[in-house]
Structure 1
Amino acid sequence: MLNSFIYLHGFASSPKSNKAQDIGNRFAQIQIPLTIPDLNAGDFSHLTISRQLHQVKSEFPDPSVPVTLIGSSLGGLTSAHLGEKYLQVQRLVLLAPAFGFLSHWLSKLGTDKIQRWQQEKYLSVYHYGEGRELPLSYDFITDAAQYQEHLLKRSIPTLILHGKKDEVIPIQASREFKRSRSWVELIELDSDHALTNVTDEIWPAIYAFCQLGNNN
């Protein structure tokens, strides 16, 4: 195999998410393996971006095999930082990547809720993969603060697909990321953060960008 492909799902999601399943099925149809690790790791309450970085790195194949990361939302942000850190990552596909995640999310929570979270150490968060509320440690916030977009300077071929109606991470975040990085291609889609209505547009873009027809 010429490349290894790994899919990173989003925050409070799982490998069973609609996007993960759709893309996984499409890879299966062309008989190319796609690894989809469960980034909850059985302990969503103690999730951090640092833990995700270590977990996904453990999925990397032999160093001689180039890795392509496909990341959704927070998985996209994690993918970008993995690409910065490891030369083995030679291509990125970012679906509504969570650039500016903390500022967007925390502003919606409000100051009082954030202060209570810091004092009580845990915040109840709705987990879409589990279909229920789960506690999340405040360590998630302190850890995430170190992963800033301005640190991402490696010129790695990157495709971003982002919905123009994204209500979670405004498309402006991806536009600003692309502006100073000539190696980034941005495709703007008529969709929201979930991108569920544009799967038939996403797949041809991934197929072409990743040169999947050449991977067998």
Structure 2
Amino acid sequence: MHYIYLHGFASSPNSAKARDINSRFAQIHTPLKIPDLNLGDFSHLTITRQLKQVAAEFPLNAAEVTLIGSSLGGLTAAHLGQQYLQVQRLVLLAPAFGFLSHWLPNLGDEKLQRWQQEKYLEVYHYGEKRSLPLHYEFVTDAHQYQERQLQRPIPTLILHGKEDEVIPIQASRDFACLRPWVELVELDSDHALGSVTSEIWQAIRLFCQLP
């Protein structure tokens, strides 16, 4: 089994969550790939680009893959699981289901219209610790990736904070209740899940049958 971790939107392989999970995999001597989904060009990020990039990381010998994805990385992982039979297990940390419907209204109509017209919007990038321009193609591309497409019965563990201020936990509840192959664990935390790292690791270890 190969393990790949997908970080979230405007984040990086150096995020607190990525580093924590990476160190725990290292302690049990199990390799974990953490690709940089920014590709040195956050401004032209799209979900389609992430899907192609991560699929290129899959082993060529058709060995099975477990994807662990955080937020937008979780949404990306779910769509990879739908598209590639090589993906045999998913762990989704506060997955960004319906994220456009949660994120875009917060921008406001005026800012959204300006983004459409000017093509770029300044977005704070937590990995770079500065604002970077993001092309509007990110939005138009994202519209094609809807949760209703995700119907492959792949064993899935979702870990979501009950106090999530970015993606409401109801999004994961709605997703799980229609899919009996999905296990949802609700945690006393927010979107970052920084206060429950031990619980997350224990759940991943049990679900993935790690040593």
TM-score normalised by L of structure 2:
0.99
Per the TM alignment, residue 62 of structure 1 is displaced from its structure 2 partner at its CA by 2.4
Partner of 1:181: 179
Per-residue CA shift, 1:109-133, capped at 9, x if unaligned?
Answer: 1111100000000000000000000
Q: Distance in 1 between matches of 2:97 and 2:57?
A: 24
* Letter of the structure 2 residue corresponding to residue 84 of structure 1: Q
Residue pair 1:158, 1:185 contacting (<8 A) in 2 also: yes
- Of residues 76, 84, 102 in structure 2, which corresponds to 1:78? 76
Partner of 2:107: 109
Partner of 1:195: 193
Partner of 2:208: 210
Partner of 2:23: 25
SS in 1 for 2:185: strand
Per-residue CA shift, 1:40-84, capped at 9, x if unaligned?
Answer: 000000000000000000100124310000000000000000000
Partner of 1:47: 45
Per-residue CA shift, 1:92-146, capped at 9, x if unaligned?
Answer: 0000000001000001111111000000000000000000000000000000000
Per-residue CA shift, 1:191-210, capped at 9, x if unaligned?
Answer: 00000000010001000101
**1:123-162 equivalence runs, <5 A:** 123-162=121-160
Structure 1, unaligned runs of 5 or more: none
Q: Distance in 2 between matches of 1:179 and 1:200?
A: 26
Computed over aligned residues only, the root mean square deviation of the Cα atoms, in angstroms, reads 0.5
* Letter of the structure 1 residue corresponding to residue 147 of structure 2: E
Q: Distance in 2 between matches of 1:89 and 1:63?
A: 13
Q: Distance in 1 between matches of 2:36 and 2:15?
A: 11
Show structure 1 runs of 4+ deviating over 4 A.
none
* Letter of the structure 2 residue corresponding to residue 49 of structure 1: I
* Letter of the structure 1 residue corresponding to residue 2 of structure 2: S
Q: Distance in 1 between matches of 2:198 and 2:56?
A: 31
* Letter of the structure 1 residue corresponding to residue 94 of structure 2: A
SS in 2 for 1:25: helix
Per-residue CA shift, 1:127-178, capped at 9, x if unaligned?
Answer: 0000000000000000000000011000000000000000000000000000
Per the TM alignment, residue 212 of structure 1 is displaced from its structure 2 partner at its CA by 1.1
Q: Distance in 2 between matches of 1:70 and 1:209?
A: 12
SS in 1 for 2:13: coil
SS in 2 for 1:124: strand
Question: How many residues are aligned here?
Answer: 211
- Of residues 8, 11, 23 in structure 1, which corresponds to 2:9? 11
Per the TM alignment, residue 89 of structure 1 is displaced from its structure 2 partner at its CA by 0.1
* Letter of the structure 2 residue corresponding to residue 138 of structure 1: Y
Partner of 1:94: 92
Q: Distance in 1 between matches of 2:175 and 2:109?
A: 27
Residue pair 1:73, 1:98 contacting (<8 A) in 2 also: yes
SS in 2 for 1:129: coil
SS in 2 for 1:52: helix
TM-score normalised by L of structure 1:
0.97
Q: Distance in 2 between matches of 1:64 and 1:140?
A: 30
